Structures are given as structure tokens and as C-alpha cells.
Chains A and B, each alone.
Chain A
Amino acid sequence: MPNDNLTQAIEILQLVNTLAPAGVALVKTLATKLQGKTDEELKATGDAIDDAIIAAADMELAKLDGTAAPAGPVAPVTPTE
């Protein structure tokens, strides 16, 4: 594993030497891709979990208030005399 990182680092340095400013941005992108997921993907994943927490909290509060949406169709009420 360490040798793979060294090989990649050398390749990155060669790219920086040849591409200059564009290479700086490329290095950063390559470094994140080494880990599989980009920071943007990780951020989106974390935010989605937080949104699920907020939605679950709203659902629990609505249930307590008696305003939660019913699970299925509501049976019609038959008027009694």
C-alpha cells in the first residue's frame, strides 16, 4: 500500500510540473478520489442523514399533536340518529 501511494504521489508531482495552475486543482481532486468518494458526495450523504433526522422529528411531533397523516384510507363515518 505505501508503495502505491508513493507511485501516485510521483505521478501527481509530474502532473503538477507540467500543468502548473491547472495541476494544483487536479492534485486536490486526485487526492480526494484516492479515497473513493468526493467531499461533495460525503457532504451530500451527511446532509441527507440530517434531513432524515429533521423529518423523523417532525413526524414524531405531529403524532404527539394528533396532526400526523393517517397511514391508510379513512373509513367514512356513518351518521347515527
Chain B
Amino acid sequence: MKSRVQSQVKRRITYVLVVATVALLLAAFTCHQAMQTSVGVAASLKAMQDGEIGLHNIGKIDDGEHRLIQQRFKALAQTDKSVRQCIYLQGGGACVDPGITAVQSMLESPEVIGIKNDDSRKQIEVLGQSLLTSLNALKAAL
């Protein structure tokens, strides 16, 4: 009788351990995937900044526009760090929301919409949309 109860308890403990292990593995993979995607987001932001600097260097974005846009990039990078920190510490799609809001705000800002050179504006918008896609993928991964 005692040994039957013991073996039932042991089976139950083993079952709980198995379920907990699988849940942990899944959670670890999701968080890890999110961290990998987060690095991709930072790389996309850098590519967007490099693109804008290149356009300014060849005179397709004037100094005034360039100043405001670079100030936005600086703020975006700081937001990106906060987003990554949030994902690292607690996870969850809500961590990404400030990043998505910041990029959308930049794309709708007077300094981007007001870029006088049409080609330059479109290039910045395309890069920005690519960044938004990365952010939404990151949110979906969490």
C-alpha cells in the first residue's frame, strides 16, 4: 500500500518536472528568439541612420532636416536600449510598444515628411517601414 502511494507520488512529481522543463524550454526559446530579433532591430536602425547620413553628405538632405533627424535617431537608439532591457528582464510584447510608437512618430514627424528631396524622403520612409516590420516581428515573437 505504502509503496503504491510512493510510486504514485513519484509519478506525479516526475510529471510536474517534465511539464515545468518543457515550459521553461519554450520560454527560453521565445525569449532568446526575441533577443536575436532585437539585435536585428538595432542593426536596421543603424542602417537607417547610415542611409540618412549618406543622403545628407551628397546634399540630398539639408542641414536643418539632418539635425532634427539625427536627434530623432539618438532618441530612438535610447528607446531601443530600454526596449531590449525590458525584454531581457521581463519579456512580453508590451516591451516593444514604445519602440513602435517612436518609429511611427518619426515617420509622421514634420522633419521626415518635410524632407524636400522626394527620393530622399522615400528612401528614409522605406528604411523606416523596414524597421517597423522588424519591431512588429519582435513583438510577435514575445
Contact = CB atoms under 8 A, between A and B. Distances in A.
A16 B17 contact: yes
Interface in A38-69: 39, 42-43, 45-47, 49-54, 56-58, 60-61, 64
Main secondary structure on chain B at its contact with chain A? Answer: helix
Nearest to B45: A53
Main secondary structure on chain A at its contact with chain B? Answer: helix
Contact of B36 (A16, A42, A47, A51): A42
Interface string B75-119: 011101100110010000000000000000000000000000000
Most buried by B among A13, A46, A54, A60: A46
A31 B29 CA distance: 7
B81 A47 contact: yes
B35 to A, nearest CB: 4
Interface residues of B, number: 39
Contact of A17 (B17, B56, B70): B17
B12 interface: no
A61 B31 contact: no
Interface of A: 9, 12-13, 16-17, 24, 27-28, 31-32, 35, 37, 39, 42-43, 45-47, 49-54, 56-58, 60-61, 64
6 contacts: A31-B24, A35-B36, A50-B77, A51-B77, A56-B73, A61-B71
